[in-house]
Amino acid sequence: MFRPRSSDNSQHHTAPRSRGRFFSTVHCLLALLLALFFALPVRAFDPMQFDGPKVKDLYYAVIRDMDAQFLALASGRIDVLSELYRAADIERLAADPAVQLSLAPTFHSFYLTFNTRAFPWDQTVLRQAASQVLDRRRWTRDLFSGYAEPITSFLPPVSAWCSLAPAPALPFGLEAARKRLAEAGWSWNAAGRLTAPDGREVPDTEILCPPSSVVATTAEIAQSAAQAFTRLGIPTRAAPMDFQAMLARVDEGKFDACTNAWNLSRDPDLLYLFYHSSGDVPGGYNKSGISDPELDRALLELRNARDEASARRWSDEAQARLSVLMPVAPIYSRYSVTAVRSDWQGLFTSDRVTADNLWTLLAMSPTSGAMRPLYWCLPEEVRVLNPLTSSTAYDWMVLGTIYDSLISVNPETFEDLPWLAESWDVRPEGEGALLTFRLRPGLSWQDGTPLTAEDAAHTIRFIREHKVPRFYDSVANVISADAEGLTLRVALSRYTLWDLHNIGGLILLPRHILEKVSDWRAWQPANLTAEGAPTQLIGTGPFTFRESRTGEYVHMTRNEHYWLYRPGRARLSGGMPYAVLF
pLDDT value of residue 169: 64
426 has pLDDT over 80: yes
Please say which residue of 496, 514, 532 terminates a domain: 514
16 has pLDDT over 80: no
Compute the distance between CA of residue 59 and CA of residue 74 in angstroms, rounded to an integer.
17
- Tell me which DSSP letter residue 156 carries: -
Residue 333 phi/psi, 5-degree rounding, is -125, 130
Averaging pLDDT over each range in 164-178, 505-519, 566-580, which range is the top one? 505-519
Number of domains the chain contains: 2
Residue pLDDT, tens place only, 118-161: 999 999 999 999 999 999 999 999 988 878 899 999 999 989 89
pLDDT value of residue 216: 84
* Structural domain includes residue 84: no
Average pLDDT, whole number, for the chain?
87
Residue 193 CB burial class (10 angstroms; 0-12, 13-18, ≥19): middle
Residue pLDDT, tens place only, 181-229: 999 999 999 999 999 999 999 999 999 999 988 788 899 999 999 999 9
Residues 428 and 279 in one domain: no
Please say which residue of 312, 334, 356 terminates a domain: 334
pLDDT value of residue 167: 52
Q: Residues near 192 by Cβ (< 8 Å), separated by ≥ 6?
A: 233
* Structural domain includes residue 555: no
Compute the distance between CA of residue 214 and CA of residue 67 in angstroms, rounded to an integer.
10
Averaging pLDDT over each range in 258-267, 344-353, 536-545, which range is the top one? 536-545
Q: Residues near 383 by Cβ (< 8 Å), separated by ≥ 6?
A: 244, 247, 390, 392, 394, 395
Residues 316 and 215 in one domain: yes
Please say which residue of 283, 316, 334 terminates a domain: 334
Compute the distance between CA of residue 219 and CA of residue 227 in angstroms, rounded to an integer.
12
Q: What is the CATH number of the domain that holds 321?
A: 3.10.105.10
6 has pLDDT over 80: no
Q: Show the 3-state SS of 55-117.
A: CCEEEEEECCCHHHHHHHHHHCCCCEECCCCCHHHHHHHHCCCCEEEEEEECCEEEEEEECCC
Q: How confident is the model at residue 43 (pLDDT cuts 50, 70, 90)?
A: low
Residues 310 and 428 in one domain: no
32 has pLDDT over 60: no
* Structural domain includes residue 56: no
* Structural domain includes residue 357: no
pLDDT value of residue 568: 57
* Structural domain includes residue 401: no
Q: Provide mean pLDDT across the span 500-513.
A: 96
pLDDT above 90: percentage of residues in the chain: 70
Q: How confident is the model at residue 168 (pLDDT cuts 50, 70, 90)?
A: low
460 has pLDDT over 70: yes
Residues 174 and 319 in one domain: yes
Is the Cβ–Cβ distance between 349 and 578 less than 8 Å? yes
Task: Give me the domain span that covers residue 478.
Answer: 407-514
